[in-house]
Amino acid sequence: MLIIPVIDIKNERCVRIIEGHGEKTMYYSERPLQVAKLFRKENFKALHITDLDAAVYGDTKNHNLIREITKSIDIPVQLAGGIKSYEIAEYCFRELGVYRVIVGTTALTNPEMIRNIIKDFSNTKIVIGIDEKLNNVVTNGWIEYANITPLDFSKYMETLGVKRIIYQDVTRVGNLCGPFVDRVREIALNTNLKITVAGGVSDYRDLKVLKDLNIPNVDSVMIGRALYENKFPCQKMWRDIESIDISLELPEV
């Protein structure tokens, strides 16, 4: 199973988001570029970046930083946040150097955008992010309901030619309480989509639970907080050697 580390960027800094609430956002590091390089040194094969300023405000303040990250590491970078049009997706590919983009519920209101990205760039260049709360897809900071279930959303995306989704239960994000395995299983067994699981992974035991599903299309997982807080035993040695500043003492915002 491929492990994809997550860097959430706000105001050009790494942050942790808990349940989508701004008041529970905590800064981890002033240097996202160094964190990206650290993850590469730890031998990860891909990187996920969420541009929170773009997602919430449509702000491009982090674009130079994202471009610098993609140029500085030799692994694919996927980008989420604010990708609401074909033109923005094209810009991310051509100008920011990202490997693929993540599109959320914009896919429901603008399916033609999805078709065009697939037609012009291939279905490997786009992933649909499915954020759930109480069996309903949520949007706009995870506070509004899209009135469609994760499974129905997944099936609809499959009809558009999408091959991969990222699924997460947003109530588990940043809480280290484990992913919503039952929903992962439901989507996996009722579609042919490849699934990247996100939200709630706490340690190797959660990885084992996902692996033990023995469902081939559940093939990857995204991890944020558990990596920053060294929940995997091998990390402490690497980070002692590197002495990279990933501080948990910075003020909450």
SS percent in the chain: helix, strand, coil, step 5? 40, 25, 35
Is 51 noted as a catalytic residue in this protein? Answer: no
Amino acid at site 34: Q
Residue among 51, 53, 131, 206 flagged as catalytic: 131
Q: State the burial class of residue 58 (Cβ atoms within 10 Å of its Cβ: 0-12, 13-18, 19+).
A: exposed
CB 6 within 8 A of CB 48: yes
Is 206 noted as a catalytic residue in this protein? Answer: no
CB 80 within 8 A of CB 88: no
CB 47 within 8 A of CB 39: yes
CB 17 within 8 A of CB 229: no
Cα R_g (the chain), whole angstroms: 17
Residue among 8, 51, 169, 206 flagged as catalytic: 8
In b/e form, how buried is each residue of 160-184, taking b as 16+ CB within 10 angstroms? Answer: bebbbbbbbbbbbbbebebbbbebb
CB 67 within 8 A of CB 44: no
Q: State the burial class of residue 68 (Cβ atoms within 10 Å of its Cβ: 0-12, 13-18, 19+).
A: middle
Q: What angle do CA 240, 27, 199 make, to 5 degrees?
A: 90
Query: Hey, which residues are catalytic here?
Result: 8, 131
